[in-house]
Amino acid sequence: MKENPLIIGIETSCDETALALIQNGKILVSLVSSQVKDHAKFGGVIPEIAARKHLEVISHLYEDLLLQAGVKESDIDFITVTQGPGLVGALLVGNLFAKGLAANLRIPLLPVNHVHAHVHGALLSLEEGKKNEDIFPCLSLVVSGGHTNLFYMKSPIHFELVSQSLDDACGECFDKVGKMLGLPYPGGPIIEKTARKGDPTKFPMPKMMTKTKTLDFSYSGLKTHLYYLLKEQETPLSEETLANICASFQDNAFEQLVRRLKQACNLFPEVKSILIAGGVAANLRFRELLSKDLKIPAIFPALLYCSDNAAMVAAYGEAIYKAKGEAGLKQDLSFESYSRYHELPEGGL
């Protein structure tokens, strides 16, 4: 294989169909077809609809990708695809598309973990000239709709799970609280926008997970607190009250993340940086609170690489190839999609 192979990334773990091409650290094209509008009327993602929508668009998106990049399919050297975790029906569409492509083009296929791939969304946004030695060892925090996972990393492909949410993910909590407030799905972006006009001190909320010895996270208590708080309010909420509740909730949700990162920095004093990734990393208030409170530099993805995309999947594939060469790529197409993080296959990436 070439020293700098042309790699296609494929992502269908939830409600975004995404394809991207990367070569030598440069994203040639990254396309995302979002289904948010199809699920918004239900207030959350409907797995069956997600799978069917992926099937509808993936071939067209592939043709657009080649056209926009100005490459032929025979130029592609290998494929990286999200194997899991995610919605199994949705993953199956991307995994089967990838397997078909690999068989047809006779090229290797590399199945990867979606949560780990998110971290490469942040690594894609590094300042030019930054080397691995400047970044690693590091901590990485993936905060998305499905996960709140903290990792210790010695290299771009080494992930040691330090802690995770015991119940709801942070983004999931934003979505559920958004629904309680009568806001459209997904809750995260609209809560952030509404909170800009609010005062985060107006509705003090209890700090979560202050007594635990581990660095685990929890968001179901905060969700329940909001449920009872809303029962006490006059409805419909005034614009001012809505903004104040959003601002207070948002700051409380982020206080837990910032506190855990500070504790983790004390536990691992050798870390040189903190990578933040996942949909919630797009939140500007979160970025502001983190940069104010952390001594170690936090690296965030560019906004377009926070939520689900295939550039991060392709970039992760490239990092694995750089570290392991052709031996790191699978020739066996019999792998299975999986739904949960702890089902990550042994030796899986």
Q: Are strands 138-143 and 273-277 parallel, antiparallel or unpaired?
A: parallel
Stretch that binds ligand KG4, among 63-71, 74-82, 139-147, 157-165 (CB under 6 A): 139-147
List the single partner that 301 binds among ligand KG4, Zn ion, none, CB under 5 to 8 Å by kind.
Answer: none
Is 9 a residue that touches ligand KG4 (CB under 6 A)?
no
Strand partners, 11: 18
Residues in contact with Zn ion, counted by CB under 5 A, come to a total of 2
**Interface pick for ligand KG4 out of 5, 187, 301, 317 (rule CB under 6 A):** 187
Query: Where does this chain touch Zn ion (CB under 5 A) — which range of 102-110, 179-187, 261-269, 307-315?
Result: 307-315
189: contact with ligand KG4 by CB under 6 A: yes
- x/- string (CB under 5 A) for Zn ion, residues 172-191? --------------------
Restricting to residues 62-81, name those near Zn ion by CB under 5 A: none
102 in contact with ligand KG4 (CB under 6 A): no
Closest distance to ligand KG4 from the beta carbon of 135 (Å): 21
Give which of ligand KG4, Zn ion, none residue 280 binds (C-beta under 5 to 8 Å, depending on kind).
ligand KG4
Give me 207's structure tokens.
């700090």
Q: How many C-beta neighbours within 10 Å does residue 156 have?
A: 23
Burial (Cβ within 10 Å: 0-12, 13-18, ≥19) of residue 210: exposed
Largest Cα–Cα separation, the chain: 66
Query: Which residues are bridge partners to 90 per DSSP?
Result: none
DSSP label at residue 217? B
The total of other beta-carbon atoms located within 10 Å of residue 171's CB is 26
Shortest reach from residue 5's CB to ligand KG4, in Å? 26
Q: How far, in Å, CA of 245 to CA of 10, rounded?
A: 38
Q: Between the CA of residue 313 and those of 15, 96, 111, what are the distances in Å?
A: 16, 16, 9
Q: Kindly state the smallest distance separating residue 238's Cβ from ligand KG4, in Å.
A: 23
Minimal distance, residue 20 CB to Zn ion, in Å: 14
121, interface contact from ligand KG4, Zn ion, none, CB < 5-8 Å by kind = none
| Cβ-proximal residues to 286 (8 Å cutoff; 6+ apart), any chain | 143, 254, 257, 276, 280
DSSP string covering 319-333, please?
HHHHHHGGGGSB---
CA distance 300 to 305: 9
Query: Which of 62, 97, 152, 174 lies at the binding interface for ligand KG4 (CB under 6 A)?
Result: 174
Residues that bind ligand KG4 (CB under 6 A): 14, 144-146, 171-172, 174-175, 186-189, 192, 278-280, 282-283, 307-308
Residues that bind Zn ion (CB under 5 A): 144, 308
